[in-house]
Amino acid sequence: MKNLVVIASLLLLCSNFSHAEQYGAAVGSGPAKSVPDAIAAVDAGSQDVMLLEAEVTSVCQAKGCWLGFSSDAGDVRVTFKDYGFFVPFSIRGKQVRVEGMMEKTELSLEDSKHLIEDAGGDPATVTEPIVEYQFVASGVQVLS
């Protein structure tokens, strides 16, 4: 009986490690785009739902209401569908997979300053509107 309890405990422990950290809806398991590939797709006119996989380079420092990816092709700011979930600040530096839609947009000067402030920067340094790629994710899966 004692061995059965030990085995059950080990199985429970292992099952906890097999579940990825997840925020929002479940993320698909198909092939994911890199940040440069996703930017190229949007620049070519794509408006499709996509999977994107990248390292988180920034997180909203106010409440975790967005995360950011950076690449030589450009930066992507990921917000969360219907403001339905947030991510912890500790997600920065981790590899994640997101599912949703992306578009290129120009922020107002006021929104640009707010974005820089939420990222922990000085809004006084912003003198022009930011043009960015925005990804609205239905879910975020932490891979590592």
CATH number of the domain where residue 113 is located? 2.40.50.140
Instruction: In whole angstroms, give the CA distance from residue 58 to residue 19.
Output: 24
Rg (CA), the chain: 18
Is residue 1 domain-resident? no
Instruction: In whole angstroms, give the CA distance from residue 136 to residue 65.
Output: 11
Mean predicted confidence (pLDDT) in 11-38? 78
Is residue 4 domain-resident? no
* Segments forming the whole domain that contains residue 34: 21-142
Is residue 32 domain-resident? yes
Instruction: In whole angstroms, give the CA distance from residue 144 to residue 141.
Output: 9
Pairing mode of beta strands 74-80, 66-71: antiparallel
For residue 11, what pLDDT is reported? 41
Could you give the number of structural domains in the chain? 1
For the whole model, what pTM was predicted? Answer: 0.79
Q: Write the pLDDT tens digit of every residue in 34-73.
A: 999 999 999 999 999 999 999 999 999 999 999 999 999 9
Phi and psi angles of residue 20, each rounded to the nearest 5 degrees, phi first? -75, 155
Q: Is 108 exposed, middle or buried (0-12, 13-18, 19+ CB in 10 A)?
A: exposed
Q: Which residues fall within 8 angstroms of residue 40, CB to CB, at 6 or more apart?
A: 73
Is residue 9 domain-resident? no
Is residue 121 domain-resident? yes
